[in-house]
Amino acid sequence: MDYDPAAYPPFAVTVDIVVLSVSHGQLWVALVERGSPPFRGLWALPGGFVEPDEDLESAANRELAEETGLDASRLEQVGAYGAPNRDPRMRVVSVAYWTAAADLTGLHAGSDATSTSLMAVQGGFPEQLAFDHSLILNDALDLVREALQTRPVATRFCRPEFTIAELRGVYEAIWDTTLDPGNFHKRVIEMPGFVVPTGRRREGGRGRPPELYRAGPAQRLDPPFSIPS
pLDDT recorded at residue 124: 60
In degrees and rounded to multiples of 5, residue 169 shows phi and psi of: -60, -30
Q: Residue 13: which pLDDT band, with cuts at 50, 70 and 90? A: very high
The percent of residues above 90 in pLDDT, for the chain, comes to 76
pLDDT recorded at residue 217: 98
pLDDT recorded at residue 97: 98
Q: Which long-range contacts (CB under 8 A, 24 or more apart) does 159-162 make?
A: 159/102, 159/103, 160/214, 161/198, 161/200, 161/212, 161/213, 161/214, 162/212, 162/213, 162/214
pLDDT (mean) for 157-163: 97
CA atoms within 13 A on the CB side of 164: 20
pLDDT recorded at residue 78: 98
Better pLDDT: 70 or 97: 97
pLDDT recorded at residue 111: 65
pLDDT recorded at residue 8: 84
CA distances from 205 to 93, 103, 202 (A): 50, 21, 9
SS3 58: helix
Would you say the C-alpha torsion 150, 151, 155, 160 has a positive or negative sign? Answer: positive
pTM: 0.93
Q: Is the pLDDT of residue 229 over 80?
A: no
The percent of residues above 70 in pLDDT, for the chain, comes to 95
C-beta of residue 120 within 8 angstroms of C-beta of residue 43: no
In degrees and rounded to multiples of 5, residue 147 shows phi and psi of: -65, -30
Among the ranges given (11-25, 59-73, 140-154), the one the predictor scored with the smallest mean pLDDT: 59-73
For the stretch 165-212, pLDDT in tens is: 999 999 999 999 999 999 999 999 999 999 999 999 988 767 788 999
For the stretch 28-42, pLDDT in tens is: 999 999 988 999 999
C-beta of residue 69 within 8 angstroms of C-beta of residue 36: no
